[in-house]
């Protein structure tokens, strides 16, 4: 008879020696820990959010904005089209609700820390203050930067469930409460996206 390895282990566990039982117990506990560690490894992908922008009534602005958790903040990547050439205010607004024809349903700038309106590099700013996107002559804009105020985790500065708004005019980064950037030309709800 050729007992396999688990057969040998069982035989050892069956031995009435204190020491053998202890070794078997340790082995079983270790196997249990390994099995528990598996699901945590799967969820280690960076948190990611995405907003698909749709035009408000009378406009044709569309695009996609992604938010990816990085070591020092949240990487914002925007690609927008259908804009008039030049700068356009670009913010996270407090409600993830683009249902109104003019996107007024999205509410004010996302401001959980109760600070004044400013630009993305200011130390005192709305969490939602992403500044401007700048469209070229063909109406396309691209923006890529790391934001140090917003988050994607389940805390008060998380932008998940809020919305991204693009405006008709430039944000002057100082007028209160919203940078005097005019009408809302596109709106998209920020949802959770699959991590990479
Ligand atoms: Cu805005
Ligand atoms: Zn603001």
- One digit per residue, pLDDT tens: the chain, 196 residues? 444 444 444 444 444 444 444 444 444 444 444 444 444 445 578 899 999 999 999 999 999 999 999 999 999 999 999 999 999 999 999 999 999 999 999 999 999 999 999 999 999 999 999 999 999 999 999 999 999 999 999 799 999 999 999 999 999 999 999 999 999 999 999 999 998 7
User: According to the model, what pLDDT value does residue 43 have?
Assistant: 58
Q: C-alpha 97: how far from its chain's center?
A: 17
CA of 165 to the centre of ligand 1 (A): 5
Kindly state the greatest CA–CA separation across the chain. Answer: 87
Is the CB of residue 187 less than 8 Å from the CB of residue 164? Answer: yes
Catalytic annotation, residues:
91, 93, 109, 117, 126, 129, 167, 184
Are 25 and 104 members of one domain?
Answer: no
Distance CA 121, CA 76 (A): 14
Distance CA 137, CA 110 (A): 30
Is the CB of residue 191 less than 8 Å from the CB of residue 65? Answer: no
Give me 180's structure tokens: 């005097």
Q: C-alpha 152: how far from its chain's center?
A: 4
Are 162 and 105 members of one domain?
Answer: yes
Are 28 and 65 members of one domain?
Answer: no
Each residue of 73-84: pLDDT tens digit?
999 999 999 999
CA of 187 to the centre of ligand 2 (A): 16
Each residue of 47-89: pLDDT tens digit?
999 999 999 999 999 999 999 999 999 999 999 999 999 999 9
Are 100 and 174 members of one domain?
Answer: yes
Are 125 and 107 members of one domain?
Answer: yes
φ/ψ (deg, to 5) at 111:
-140, 60
Which residues does residue 142 pair with via DSSP β-bridges, in sequence order?
Answer: 79
Q: How many CB atoms lie within 10 A of CB 99?
A: 11
Structural domains of the chain, count: 2
User: According to the model, what pLDDT value does residue 45 have?
Assistant: 83
φ/ψ (deg, to 5) at 86:
115, -170
Q: Which ligand is nearest to the CA of 127?
A: 2
Residues, beta carbon < 5 Å, ion ligand 1: 91, 165
* Domain residue limits at 124: 48-193
Q: What share of the chain is helix, strand, coil (3-state, %, to 5)?
A: 20, 35, 45
């Amino acid at each position: 008879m050729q007992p396999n390895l688990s057969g040998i282990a069982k035989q050892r566990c069956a031995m009435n020696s204190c020491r053998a039982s202890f070794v078997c117990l340790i082995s079983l506990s270790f196997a249990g820990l390994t099995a528990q560690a598996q699901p945590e490894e799967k969820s280690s992908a960076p948190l990611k959010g995405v907003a698909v922008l749709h035009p408000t009534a009378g406009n044709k602005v569309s695009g996609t904005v992604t938010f990816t958790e990085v070591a020092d903040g949240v990487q914002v990547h925007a690609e927008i089209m259908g804009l008039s050439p030049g700068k356009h205010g670009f913010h996270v607004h407090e409600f993830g609700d683009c249902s109104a024809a003019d996107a007024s349903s999205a509410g004010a700038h996302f401001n959980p820390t109760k600070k004044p309106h400013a630009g993305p590099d200011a130390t005192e700013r709305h969490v939602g203050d992403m500044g401007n996107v700048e469209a070229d002559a063909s109406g396309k804009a691209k923006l890529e930067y790391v934001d140090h105020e917003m988050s994607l985790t389940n805390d008060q500065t998380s932008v998940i469930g809020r919305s991204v708004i693009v405006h008709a005019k430039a944000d002057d980064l100082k007028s209160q409460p919203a940078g005097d950037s005019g009408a809302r030309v596109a709106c998209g709800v920020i949802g959770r996206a699959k991590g990479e």
